[in-house]
Structure 1
Amino acid sequence: MVAVDLKKPLVFQVGHLGDAYEEWVHDPVLGKEGPRFFHSNFLEFFTRTPWYAIPIVWIPVSCWFVNNSLSMGVPVSNAAQLFLIGLFAWTLAEYLLHRFLFHVKTTSYWGNTLHYLLHGCHHKHPMDHLRLVFPPAAAAILAVPLWNIVRLLSTPTTAPAIFGGFLLGYIMYDCTHYYLHHGQPKSDAPKKLKKYHLNHHYRISNHGFGITSPLWDIVFGTLPPSVKGDAKSS
C-alpha cells in the first residue's frame, strides 16, 4: 500500500492509495484533533465549519423559501402541509445521499480525492469537530440539483414551501449528526441513536445509513445485523 503521512496535508495524498483507499478510509483515527487538508491556509480555512454555522446560515434560507410560497398566494395551512412533506422527503434524501453518494466505491486518483473531501475524511477522523457538518458552500452546491428535483416534481407555487421543509430537515440532520458524535445524551432514545450511528463508523460501515432515524434502513434492509456484546462505540 502507498504510505499516507497523517502529519502532512492529506487531500492530495489519498488519491494515490488506489484500490487500498476503501480499507484505509474505514480504519478510523480515534483522536479528536483533525488533520490538515491543504498546504494553503486559504483553502484550509474553508474546510472547517462550526456546527452552529448550519442553523445560522440555513434557517433564514428555509424561511425565505416558505415565504415565497406564501407571497404567491398559498394559504398558511397549505404551506404548513407542504413544509411537512418537504421535511419528510429530506429523511429519504438523507438516506439515499449517504448510502449511494457518500459511500460510493472509488479507486481512481480523483475519485478517491473527491470522496475523501466529501465524506471519507469523516470516516477517517470521525471526531474532528470542525468537519462534522457541511461547509455552507459545499451544501449549496448539493442543494441546487435537489431544488431542481423539487421544482420538477411540484408546481411553481408549492415548490418553495416544500423545499423550505427540505432545508429544515437538512439543518436537523447536520446538527443531529454533530450531537451524535460529541453530545452526551441522557435519555434512552438519543443514546440508542448515538450507538446506532457510531456502530456505522466503528463496526459495519455498509449498514446503518440513517442519521436522524433508522426508518429507511428498515425499509431498504440495511439495518446492521444484531451483534452480541458491547459495540466498539459504546
Structure 2
Amino acid sequence: MDNQMFSVDLSKPLVFQVGHLGEAYEEWVHQPIVTKETPRLFANGFIEFLTRTRWWAIPLIWLPVVCWSVSSSINNGIHPYHVAPTVIAGIFLWTLLEYSLHRFLFHIKTKSYWGNTLHYLIHGCHHKHPMDGLRLVFPPAVTAILLVPFWNLIKLLVSAPYSPAFFGGGLLGYVIYDCTHYYLHHGKPLKGLSYRLKRFHMNHHFRIQNMGFGITNTFWDRIFGTLPPKSGKKAS
C-alpha cells in the first residue's frame, strides 16, 4: 500500500488503519481534532469497552489500594512519622516516571505498521483527539498490569517494611497525575497553579508538542531542559 496515498477513514475503527500511514503518521497524529466525541478504536465491542474509562474510576479503584499499602507498612512496625516521608518519596519517584514515560515512550517516533499502531494505542489517540473524555486516564486493566513491574522495582530499591508505603506513594502519585490530566483538559481554572498547568499542557498539545512533558508539575522539564521557549519555536 502506498503510504503517501493512504487516508484514514474517521468513520471506521481507527487502530488498525493508522499503521498504514507509515512515515506520514507522525504529522497526522499531531494534527488534533478538537471535539468531545469519542472515536471508535476497535470493531470488537468488548475491546472497545476496555479502552474507555471514566475519570472517577481511577480514585475509586486505586485509592483503597493506596490505603492498604500504606497501612501494611504501619502494620509491619513502621512508625507513622517514618511512613509519611516514605509516601512522599514514592510520589516524587512517580513524578520522574511521569516525565520519563511521557517524553521517551509516549513521544517515541514510529513509522512501521505495528510501531504506529502501538503508539496510537498508547498515546497517539490522545494527541489526535485531546478532548476525548473517555481516554484521558489509563484503563484500570492496563494499570494493574504495569503495577507488577513497578512493585518488583520498588522491592529492589526499598527495604521490605517500607516498600508497601513507597509503593502506595507511587500509586498515589499516579492517581493525582491521572485526575490532574483530566482536569487540565476539561476543567476551567481562571488563576493559580491549576491555570498555569493547564496553559503549560495545552501548549504541549497545540503549540510545541516535542517539549513540556510534565503534567502535574514542570520540575523535571526545568531539570532536563524541555521547558518550551517563550517564542513558540519548536526545538530542533
Cα distance in structure 2, aligned partners of 1:153 and 1:61: 20
Deviation at 1:72, TM superposition (A): 1.4
Matched, 1:192 2:196: yes
Q: Could you say which residue in structure 2 is the equivalent of 1:153?
A: 157
Give the counterpart of 1:42 among 41, 46, 49. Answer: 46
Matched, 1:24 2:28: yes
Deviation at 1:20, TM superposition (A): 1.2
Give the counterpart of 2:104 among 93, 100, 104. Answer: 100
Give the counterpart of 1:144 among 140, 143, 148. Answer: 148
Matches within 5 A, 1:6-25: 6-25=10-29
Q: Secondary structure at the match of 1:22?
A: helix
Matched, 1:165 2:169: yes
Q: Could you say which residue in structure 2 is the equivalent of 1:76?
A: 80
How many pairs align? 228
Cα distance in structure 1, aligned partners of 2:108 and 2:65: 29
Give 5+ residue unaligned stretches, structure 1: 229-234
Cα deviation digits, residues 37-61 of structure 1 (max 9, x gap): 1111111111100000000011011
Deviation at 1:114, TM superposition (A): 1.1
Cα deviation digits, residues 186-210 of structure 1 (max 9, x gap): 3232111101000000111110000
Compare 120-129 and 85-94 and name the one that shifted more.
85-94
Work out the percentage of aligned pairs sharing the same amino acid.
62
Compare 122-131 and 68-77 and name the one that shifted more.
68-77
Give the AA of the match of 1:4: V
Give the counterpart of 2:227 among 210, 219, 223. Answer: 223
Matched, 1:109 2:113: yes
Matched, 1:208 2:212: yes
Per the normalisation by structure 2, the TM-score is 0.94
Give 5+ residue unaligned stretches, structure 2: none
Deviation at 1:158, TM superposition (A): 1.0
Per the normalisation by structure 1, the TM-score is 0.95
User: Aligned Cα RMSD in Å?
Assistant: 1.1
Matched, 1:63 2:67: yes
Cα distance in structure 1, aligned partners of 2:145 and 2:109: 21
- The runs of at least 4 aligned residues of structure 1 exceeding 6 Å deviation read none
Q: Could you say which residue in structure 2 is the equivalent of 1:232?
A: none
Cα distance in structure 2, aligned partners of 1:104 and 1:141: 21
